[in-house]
Amino acid sequence: MQISGLATGLDVEAIITKLMAIEQRPLVAMEQRKTKYQEEKNTWRDINTRLLNLQNNLDSLLAPDLFRRMAATSSNAEIVTASASSKALDGKYEIEIEQVAQAQRVASQRFDEVDSPVGLAGTIRINGTEIVIEAEDSLIDIRDRLREGDVLANIVDNTLILTAKETGLAGAFVVEDDDGVLASLGLVEGENFKNVLQEPLDALFTVDGLRVTRSSNSIDDVVEGVTFQLLDAGKGVIEVKKDYDKIIQAVKAMVQQFNSTYGFINEKMGEGALLQGDQMMLRLQNSLRRVLMDPVAAETKYPFMGSIGISISKEGVMSLDESKLKAALEDDPAGAFELLGGKDGAAARAQEFIKSYTKVDGFLAERQKVYDGRLRDLERRMDDFERRLELRQANLERQWTQLETALSYSYSQQDWLTAQLTALQNFYTPRRK
């Protein structure tokens, strides 16, 4: 926009700018409304995310095996440890380990170099696997070839070390050295290994006085559902019982996520907050608290969350009394399960309620569609209004240009008439002698 303002003596550009600022006020209001809609939409998206996280926590409480999980603890974790599956039964097992299983390990002679040809050629067999050694092979090459024969081969201090892949007598490897390659390496002498670092041994131990032999230190076929890990000779007691800690951890996670979700809703519903007075938010706020804390329909010793140590303050903060929850789990596991993990329990009820909001065609998805529609309509109106503003500004500029042109012409005419009048006056004025 370039309007001189020479004829009027006014700052035309400033005048038009101020006029357009007034004209733009509805557009500014629409932009503010758009920002508010976008903020509200983002707030509902955040609520959806928090509800989904809470739903995942409730899923954990409803996991089929959560209340069937067993825990195994050891009185001497340096000697023996254990893990238990849901098939295990409560009990204590006295373990006495005479010897742990170990893998066979043998060594060759020491070599000066490991990457120069050894000069040995021939065929050997390890556990029936045939391996061909060539004259140009170095000790490193031989190590790599031996790894093909169901044995672990390594080089330590220029010495070739062979270790069985499995522990126990059953895991010991068998070699055949028809061409004398292994003998030349210093691994065998006659029919025996020359330098035995570790003999293959089976694990020898007793469980409640019953003597057991196994080739592995991981024992999963002695007590149903229990896997023992034998670590060293000695004694220890393994106790197997319900894994209440997993349940308590799942409840704690749910409580923390509830507080995150409910606290966020309270924040957005507060005085002067973005969604203050929103009816859908108010229903969500009230219902979310109720579906978790109302008594369940099932006949149980623990009919509501408060009876197992889960409570909500007037401010909407959920808290957990872990000792009370653990006592309820120990006193009546079935009743606690009905409340927390049962199909008619509080967690299942809350999960179904949350799904009504978070599912693909749920309340929150519909609310997002509403905001999308509002934003599209508003953007269309803003585009139309901006085009009208452009036309308005062009019209003002044209009118001011016409005004300047007319005034400029008028001033020119005035100057001409003034000049004519002055000339006539001079013509008729008598000259003094």
pLDDT tens digits for range 270-316:
888 888 888 998 999 989 999 999 888 667 788 889 999 999 998 88
**Position 161 in a domain:** yes
Domain match, 124 and 194 both: yes
Q: Identity (one letter) of the amino acid at 305?
A: M
**Position 214 in a domain:** yes
User: What's residue 433's pLDDT?
Assistant: 52
Contacts of residue 39, defined as CB under 8 A and 6 or more positions apart, other chains included, come to 274
**Rounded distance, CA 371 to CA 29, Å?**
17
Domain match, 96 and 208 both: yes
Q: What is the pLDDT along the chain (433 residues), one digit of tens a residue?
A: 444 555 455 666 777 778 777 878 887 888 888 888 898 899 999 999 999 999 999 999 998 888 889 999 999 999 999 999 989 999 999 999 999 999 999 999 999 999 999 999 999 999 889 999 999 999 999 999 998 878 999 999 999 999 999 999 999 999 999 899 999 999 999 889 999 999 999 999 999 999 999 999 999 999 999 999 999 999 999 999 999 999 999 999 999 999 999 999 988 888 888 888 889 989 999 899 999 998 886 677 888 899 999 999 988 899 999 999 999 998 988 888 888 888 888 999 999 999 999 999 999 999 889 888 988 888 888 888 888 878 887 777 777 677 667 666 676 777 677 776 777 776 666 655 5
Domain match, 149 and 211 both: no
Domain match, 230 and 158 both: no
Token match 């179904």: residue?
A: 352
**Position 388 in a domain:** no
Domain match, 175 and 142 both: yes
Domain match, 215 and 237 both: yes
Tokens representing 385 are: 């209004």
Q: Mind spelling out the 3-state secondary structure of 1-46? A: CCCCCCCCCCCHHHHHHHHHHHHCHHHHHHHHHHHHHHHHHHHHHH
Token match 């957990």: residue?
A: 320
**Rounded distance, CA 389 to CA 416, Å?**
40
Domain match, 208 and 229 both: yes
Residues 150 and 163 sit within 8 Å (Cβ to Cβ)? no
**Position 360 in a domain:** no
Which of the listed residues 198, 232, 253 is the one where a domain comes to its end? 198
User: What's residue 410's pLDDT?
Assistant: 74
Longest dimension (CA), the chain: 162
Domain match, 214 and 92 both: yes
**Position 114 in a domain:** yes
Instruction: Give kind and range of the element (H or E) at residue 176.
Output: strand 175-176
- Number of structural domains, the chain? 2
Between the alpha carbon of residue 360 and those of residues 2, 52, 335, 350, 372, the distances in Å are 55, 12, 34, 18, 16
Whether the pTM exceeds 0.75: the reply is no
User: What's residue 12's pLDDT?
Assistant: 66
**Position 188 in a domain:** yes
Write 208-211 long-range contacts (CB < 8 A, 24+).
Answer: 208/93, 208/94, 209/94
- The length of the chain, given as a count of residues: 433
Helix (H, G, I), strand (E, B) or coil at 102: strand
**Position 59 in a domain:** no
**Rounded distance, CA 389 to CA 166, Å?**
84
**Rounded distance, CA 391 to CA 41, Å?**
33
Instruction: Tell me the residue range of the domain where 158 lies.
Output: 105-198
Domain match, 127 and 181 both: yes
Residues 204 and 99 sit within 8 Å (Cβ to Cβ)? yes
Domain match, 164 and 114 both: yes
**Rounded distance, CA 342 to CA 137, Å?**
67
Domain match, 109 and 236 both: no
Which of the listed residues 242, 272, 307 is the one where a domain comes to its end? 242
**Position 300 in a domain:** no
Domain match, 76 and 192 both: no
User: What's residue 421's pLDDT?
Assistant: 74
Our measurement of the distance from residue 255's CA atom to the centroid of its chain's CA atoms, rounded to an integer in Å, reads 18
